[in-house]
Amino acid sequence: MTYHLAYAPPIEPWREQAACAGRSDVFFPRHGTPTDETAAQTVCADCPVTVPCLATALVDEGKAPAYARVGVRGGHTPVERARLAGVVADEVDEPDPFAEMDRLLQLGTMTDKDVAERVGAATVTVHRRRQKLGLPPVRLRLAPEEVFAANTVAVRGGHLVYLSTAQKPAITVNGQAVLVVRFAFARGHGRQPEGQVHRVCAVQGCIAWEHLSDAVIRGKQRSARQQLQQTA
């Protein structure tokens, strides 16, 4: 029987205690067999982190059918995990398990994640299938607001920082590159900035619109100071 679900690299801290560390050849063989599964389950029997391992597997695999799962995880085979997930555990591959996946990939309008959710497979499985078919990846262009929201982090004190390694990060708006600091100003003030945009707080890289000023704001501030000086 051939399994088509691939496994993502481990990142959870509990994996450092796993008895299977460095044994991917046993737990996730390229061609799984009952013998491989028995050997893996023997290792799992004495593992101190079987419970979180199984819980992670069930979350990763969702409602994927048994044939779309791979290897032994948390002491359970793909069929056993499918049963735990409430999926009919059919060890027989579908006549053409990739038919719908291939059709969606060839449309060229869906990301690997979208296809995976549609067919009930793992994203990495779809990614490898795309590579096998020789199809380029689909990168859906996000709206400027989505790009901005996805790359900003709020910092204590009402500050907002944009995550980028660029010295002057920019966002594409209507085909034109707009500096993030100017985009943030316009987004908050409801108008395009005039002249240079300056940060008025002490937090390096802050782009919170309340902490940004342009020529108009600075001009009004100068006028206000002059009036105060005249009345003093």
Alpha-carbon torsion (26, 28, 31, 32), positive or negative: positive
Domain stops at, among 110, 133, 156: 133
- Percent of the chain past pLDDT 70, that is, above it, reads 84
Segment 162-177 shows an average pLDDT of 86
Between 192 and 84, the higher pLDDT residue = 192
pLDDT higher than 70, residue 96? no
Does 124 share its domain with 190?
no
Query: Is 45 among the domain residues?
Result: yes
Does 128 share its domain with 210?
no
Q: What is the pLDDT of residue 85?
A: 82
Domain stops at, among 133, 157, 188: 133
Amino acid present at 174: N
- Percent of the chain past pLDDT 90, that is, above it, reads 22
Query: Is 33 among the domain residues?
Result: yes
Domain stops at, among 133, 157, 192: 133
Query: Is 80 among the domain residues?
Result: yes
Query: Is 138 among the domain residues?
Result: no
pLDDT tens figures, 7-17? 444 456 778 88
Query: Is 8 among the domain residues?
Result: no
Does 129 share its domain with 153?
no
What value does the mean pLDDT of the chain take? 81
Q: What is the pLDDT of residue 206?
A: 92
Segment 116-131 shows an average pLDDT of 87
Between 39 and 170, the higher pLDDT residue = 170
Alpha-carbon torsion (79, 81, 86, 87), positive or negative: negative
Does 25 share its domain with 128?
yes
Query: Is 189 among the domain residues?
Result: yes
pLDDT higher than 90, residue 178? yes
Query: Is 6 among the domain residues?
Result: no
Does 204 share its domain with 122?
no
Query: Is 5 among the domain residues?
Result: no
Q: Which structural domain range is residue 203 located in?
A: 144-231
Does 111 share its domain with 150?
no
**Domain count of the fold of the chain:** 2
